Amino acid sequence: MALPGIAIPDQAAAPKLQVTNLGVVFQGNDKTIAALDNINLEISDGEFVCLVGPSGCGKSTLLNAMGGFLSPTSGSVSIDGELVSGPDSRRILVFQEHGVFPWLTVEGNIGFGLAKLSRSERAQRIAHYVELVQLQGFERSYPSDLSGGMKQRLQVARALAVNPDVLFLDEPFGALDSITRVMMRGELLRIWQAERRTILCVTHDIDEAVQLADRVVVLSSRPARIQNVLTIDIPHPRNISSPRYLTLRDELLKMIGLAYEI
């Protein structure tokens, strides 16, 4: 059962990703921590959804459960109607930082998930994604020689290279300086428009959410519940000084309230 207000725009199509009554409780030595409480969410194919919420509320836990990295205490996650039971390359999680393998070159990282392809197919795929994330000329470089923004582009390229159905981004630009972050936002949008993957992106940046997302899901403090869902009905490219943009941005800020760290 979907909560009111988070019905997908196109009711006819089956959802790409369906989260049903999802709950996660961590068992500590002496106490239990409820991280997710009865999350229901439907995401359609090719949709870009941003998740916002106070820090420590369970956003990463939600992504981990959706990606199969962590088995839920209750409820379920399914992608294309198939139950998610463990990590696999049809869905890739991109981490805030240090997610690329420092012992591999740019090429090695992008090709990491492509071991099953033939040599020439792999080379082609790598070349395509090097170009998509604009790392031409750095194919043989190690991550230690790349800037923070380049490393995150590399992580996105490595994720996309295995043709995942769904991409989970956990505060992908959170560790970058604000100028780089704005540039990366544009890059991500361009990549999403070129590749049309389903993307779920945790962010603590309100502008990032309103500029990128089709829908923004607002989570409560721990244990995370879905508090609100805001549909951003502005076509790309979005004019960030248009009245509609500013209205939606205000609305989102109101939903989050002052109690939140943003």
Instruction: Point out which span in 59-67, 107-115, 123-131, 173-181 binds ligand ADP (CB under 6 A).
Output: 59-67
Residue 113 found at the interface with another protein (CB under 8 A): yes
Cα-to-chain-centroid distance, residue 70:
16
Residue 60 found at the interface with Mg ion (CB under 5 A): yes
Residue 203 found at the interface with ligand ADP (CB under 6 A): no
Residue 204 found at the interface with ligand ADP (CB under 6 A): no
State which of positions 217-246 bind ligand ADP (CB under 6 A): 222
Sole binder of ligand ADP in the list 25, 33, 117, 175 (CB under 6 A): 33
Sole binder of another protein in the list 69, 117, 189, 228 (CB under 8 A): 69
Residue 132's closest CA among 94, 100, 165, 106? Answer: 106
Query: Which of Mg ion, ligand ADP, another protein, none interacts with 92 (beta carbon under 5 to 8 A by kind)?
Result: another protein
Residue 44 found at the interface with Mg ion (CB under 5 A): no
Residue 172's closest CA among 211, 132, 200, 141? Answer: 200
State which of positions 39-58 bind ligand ADP (CB under 6 A): 53, 55-58
Instruction: Point out which span in 32-40, 56-64, 77-85, 126-134 binds Mg ion (CB under 5 A).
Output: 56-64
Comparing every residue's Cβ against Mg ion, the nearest one is 60
Residues in CB range of 128: below 8 A, 6 or more apart: none
What is the rounded distance in angstroms from the CA atom of residue 107 to the CA atom of residue 146?
Answer: 13
Helix, strand, coil shares of the chain, percent, nearest 5, are: 35, 25, 45
**What is the token pair recorded at 60?**
């990463």
What is the rounded distance in angstroms from the CA atom of residue 152 to the CA atom of residue 146?
Answer: 10
119-132 helix and 178-195 helix, angle to the nearest 10 degrees = 130
Nearer to Mg ion, 110 or 217 (CB): 217
Give the interface with ligand ADP as residue ranges (CB under 6 A). Answer: 26, 28, 33, 35, 53, 55-61, 222
